[in-house]
């Protein structure tokens, strides 16, 4: 920034000004490289150095960054496809461009303005799209409500879908999403909503910590995913104006890691406390499951060949009263979930999807119970096993799911095949799967060699939460407290 240079150097010739800027940046790079995961030069400040040498200086700075540290070029481009392709070439090309590894983009012109930066010959690049920026004026547009979500939540969901489209159009060996989000660290509530809308896989660039007043701990609590990752926290003035930039960078790194640890510890303690307790709706669910014969205890050989002390058959929920209670239990579990409900009490999905066959009735029950018990209005859709060649045709029935956030509902997860098939189907129509709701998490291992249960494997591989009405800890707690 101009203010970083002494006034006499800024008013000097373009050559002197550019050299001073380069030396300033080189000093920061050399001092902080050991503590930095990414550098984010802002193209505008280099362009302002002069039309002759501004971009040349930016390329010199990028070349001075160690090869093992990625460069995210802050350009905030956003234009029609052909222009976007030219911008991408200017940002990425090694010989005649700036040789950046990623860029920041404005997503408001849609997918065709974004795709040239992350598909084709640039499929190995990445980009962060502006989602909810830290400037006060961002509320003028990005915070506007669109029925059940804000503009920035819509952008977060689109970024997830666009990343899937990019992976489909231009496959690479990497499964990391090619798009991330820019969400200001000064607004923890927006960070939380963006994280919920985007899911756990997308990375969030969260500027605003330090000089802009963003609180590091609050930002991490709101924006980190379940693994304690998924955030990049850029700090510029706090380091560049420090008397010892290296020490300040190390201090920031240690602060970020301490905040991450605190968040993970807090979440772990909460899960531990909740894991052994049983909520009223869970107790009621277990009681009527036993009454209906859905849940039985004894010795049962499962499909996997293992012997289990209990058996759960959701197909025996076969009366009006049982189905009514089942829907209410699903709805209560969903509304009690931090993964599917944001801090303002809004669900993070637009449509409930019931995969054929059992999921069809379950999805309908969930939609009805969410509305009757909590006043939550969502769409409902399901699929057919065979495509219909007359009437409305196709295999999908119900609410449109394209560019929508979708919750998948099923009874149990045995191997995860049905859920994975649903996930693939939803991505093909550019829907965004945001979670799975099931009745019982049996915690059944897929094999003796695999330490993860089928439910854990689905959550890990698809990077979406799986919420159950009850899990094995609640079942064990119920048995301990039961007098029968």
Active-site amino acid positions? 388, 390
- Residue 250 contacts residue 35 (beta carbons within 8 Å): yes
Q: Give the number of other CB atoms < 10 A from CB of residue 462.
A: 23
- Report the C-alpha gap between 268 and 273 in whole angstroms: 9
73 vs 247: CA distance, rounded Å: 25
**357 vs 40, 302, 450, CA distance in Å?**
49, 20, 29
- Name the strand (E) or helix (H) holding 204: strand 204-205
Q: Are 183 and 205 in contact (CB under 8 A)?
A: yes
Q: What residues pair up with 231 in beta bridges, in sequence order?
A: 204
Distances in whole angstroms, Cα of residue 434 to Cα of each of 153, 195, 235, 248, 348: 13, 11, 31, 38, 7
Q: How far apart are the first and last CA of the chain?
A: 73
Contact in structure between 464 and 353 (CB atoms under 8 Å) = no
Positive or negative torsion for Cα 139, 140, 145, 151: negative
| Rounded-to-integer distance, Cα 428 and Cα 245, Å | 47
357 preceded by cis ω (within 30°)? yes
Q: CA-to-CA distance for 238 and 35, rounded, in angstroms?
A: 14
Determine what percent of the chain falls in helix, strand and coil, rounding each to the nearest 5: 45, 20, 35
């Amino acid at each position: 920034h101009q203010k970083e240079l002494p006034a006499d150097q800024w008013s000097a010739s373009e050559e002197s000004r550019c050299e001073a800027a380069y030396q300033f940046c080189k000093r920061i790079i050399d001092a902080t490289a050991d503590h930095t995961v990414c550098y984010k030069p802002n193209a505008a400040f280099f362009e302002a150095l002069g039309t002759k040498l501004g971009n040349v200086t930016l390329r010199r700075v990028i070349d001075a960054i160690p090869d093992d540290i990625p460069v995210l070029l802050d350009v905030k481009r956003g234009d029609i496809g052909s222009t976007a392709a030219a911008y991408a070439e200017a940002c990425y090309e090694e010989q005649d461009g700036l040789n950046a590894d990623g860029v920041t983009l404005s997503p408001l012109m849609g997918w065709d303005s974004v795709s040239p930066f992350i598909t084709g010959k640039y499929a190995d690049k990445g980009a962060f799209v502006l989602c909810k920026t830290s400037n006060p004026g961002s509320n003028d547009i990005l915070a506007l409500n669109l029925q059940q979500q804000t503009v920035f939540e819509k952008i977060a969901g689109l970024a997830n879908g666009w990343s899937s489209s990019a992976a489909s159009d231009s496959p690479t060996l990497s499964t990391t999403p090619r798009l991330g989000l820019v969400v200001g660290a000064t607004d923890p509530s927006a960070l939380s909503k963006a994280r919920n809308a985007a899911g756990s896989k997308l990375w969030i660039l969260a500027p605003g910590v330090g000089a802009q007043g963003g609180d590091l701990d609050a930002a991490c609590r709101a924006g980190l995913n379940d693994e304690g990752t998924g955030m990049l926290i850029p700090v510029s003035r706090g380091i560049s104006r420090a008397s010892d930039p290296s020490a300040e960078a190390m201090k920031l790194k240690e602060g970020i890691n301490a905040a991450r640890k605190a968040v993970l510890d807090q979440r772990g303690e909460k899960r531990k406390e909740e894991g052994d307790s049983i909520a009223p709706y869970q107790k009621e669910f277990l009681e009527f499951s036993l009454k209906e014969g859905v849940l039985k205890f004894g010795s049962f050989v499962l499909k996997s060949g293992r012997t289990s002390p209990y058996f759960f058959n959701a197909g025996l929920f076969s009366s009006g009263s049982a189905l009514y209670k089942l829907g209410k239990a699903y709805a209560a579990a969903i509304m009690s979930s931090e993964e599917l409900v944001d801090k303002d009490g809004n669900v993070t999905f637009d449509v409930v999807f019931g995969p054929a066959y059992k999921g069809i009735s379950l999805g309908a029950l969930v939609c009805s119970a969410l509305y009757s018990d909590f006043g939550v209005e969502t769409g409902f859709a399901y699929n057919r096993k065979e495509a219909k060649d007359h009437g409305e045709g196709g295999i999908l029935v119900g609410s449109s799911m394209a560019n929508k956030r979708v919750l998948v509902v099923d009874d149990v997860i045995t191997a995860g095949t049905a859920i994975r098939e649903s996930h693939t189907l939803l991505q093909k129509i550019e829907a965004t799967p945001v979670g799975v709701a099931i009745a019982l998490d049996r915690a059944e291992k897929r094999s003796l060699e695999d330490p993860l249960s089928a439910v854990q494997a689905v959550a890990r591989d698809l990077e979406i939460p799986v919420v159950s009405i009850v899990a094995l800890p609640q079942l064990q707690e119920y048995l301990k407290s039961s007098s029968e």
